[in-house]
Amino acid sequence: NYKAIDMPAHQTYGGSWKFLTFIDLVIQAVFFGVCVLTDLSSLLTKGSASMEQKRQLRKLISLRDWMMAVLAFPVGAFVVTMFWTLYVYDRDLVYPRLLDSFIPQWLNHGMHTTVLPFIIIEMRTTHHRYPSRTCGLFAVCMFAVGYVVWMCWVHSMTGVWVYPLLEHIGPMARILFFVCLMALISVYYVLGEILNNYIWDSSKSKLKG
C-alpha cells in the first residue's frame, strides 16, 4: 500500500529508500519472512536425522536472532518513538500536513505504530539469542552511521534534507542531533537485550517453579 501511493517525494532522488520508515518496513517484512521460513523449516525437519538439514536450520535461526537483535527491534522502536515524539511536538518537522492527502490514517499507523507491538509479541513468543553486546552495538551503530551518510548524500545531490526538521537547525546542531540519534538507537539495542533476557529468564523461573 505504501509503494502504491503516488507521492511526489517518491519520484525524487533516492525514492522511498531515503525514508527510515520505508527502510524499517522492509526490515520488518524480511525479518518476519525469515521467522515464517524458520518455523516451516523447523516443522519439516522435525524428527529428521539429516545433519545438513539441521545445520541449515541453525543458520536460519541465527539469522532470525541476529535480525531481531540488531535491526528489527532497535530500528522499529526508534522509528515509532521518534516519529510520535516529533509528531506530538510539531508534526510539520517530520510529517507535514500535506501528507494527509496522500497517506490514509490507517496506513500511517501501520507504518509508525503497529511495528512496535508486533515486534514485542514476537519477542514474547520466541526466544532469541543475542550476539555479544560489543558486536551487537557495533552492528547497530554501523547501520545508524550508514543511514546518516545516506541522508547527507541525498542532501548533497538535491540540496534538500530528507526530514524538514534538519532544514531548521544549523550544521553543529545537526551533528549533535545525529550523535544523539546514534546513542538512542544503541540504547534501544540494549533495552531489547534486557527485555528479551527478562522475558525468558522469567519464563524459565516459572517453569522451574
Q: Please answer whether residues 195 and 138 qualify as being in contact, where contact means their C-beta atoms are separated by less than 8 angstroms.
A: no
Please give the helix or strand (H or E) that residue 100 lies within, else none: none
The reported pLDDT for the residue numbered 63 is 95
Residue that is written with C-alpha cell 545438513 in the block = 52
Segment 186-206 mean pLDDT? 84
Cβ count within 10 A of residue 27 = 20
**Domain ranges, ordered by start, for the chain:** 8-208
The reported pLDDT for the residue numbered 94 is 79
Residue 171 clears pLDDT 80, i.e. is over it: yes
The reported pLDDT for the residue numbered 206 is 56
The reported pLDDT for the residue numbered 69 is 95
The reported pLDDT for the residue numbered 142 is 96
Query: Residue 46 corresponds to which cell in the numbers above?
Result: 522435525
Local confidence band at 5 (pLDDT 50, 70, 90 cut-offs) = low
- Pseudo-torsion of CA 23, 41, 137, 76, nearest 10°? 40
Cα of 114 vs its chain's centroid, Å: 12
Task: Average the pLDDT over each of 31-35, 73-77, 93-97, 144-148 and give the range with the smallest value.
Answer: 93-97
Provide the mean pLDDT of the chain: 87
Read off the pLDDT of residues 21-32 as tens digits, 9 standing for 90 and up. Answer: 899 999 999 999
- Pseudo-torsion of CA 96, 107, 20, 91, nearest 10°? 20
Q: 82-96, 132-146, 150-164: which has the highest mean pLDDT?
A: 132-146
Local confidence band at 4 (pLDDT 50, 70, 90 cut-offs) = low
Q: Please answer whether residues 37 and 143 qualify as being in contact, where contact means their C-beta atoms are separated by less than 8 angstroms.
A: no
Query: How far does the chain reach from its first CA to its final CA, in angstroms?
Result: 47
Q: Please answer whether residues 52 and 29 qualify as being in contact, where contact means their C-beta atoms are separated by less than 8 angstroms.
A: no
Q: Please answer whether residues 125 and 178 qualify as being in contact, where contact means their C-beta atoms are separated by less than 8 angstroms.
A: no
The reported pLDDT for the residue numbered 204 is 57
Segment 109-130 mean pLDDT? 90
Query: Residue 68 corresponds to which cell in the numbers above?
Result: 531481531
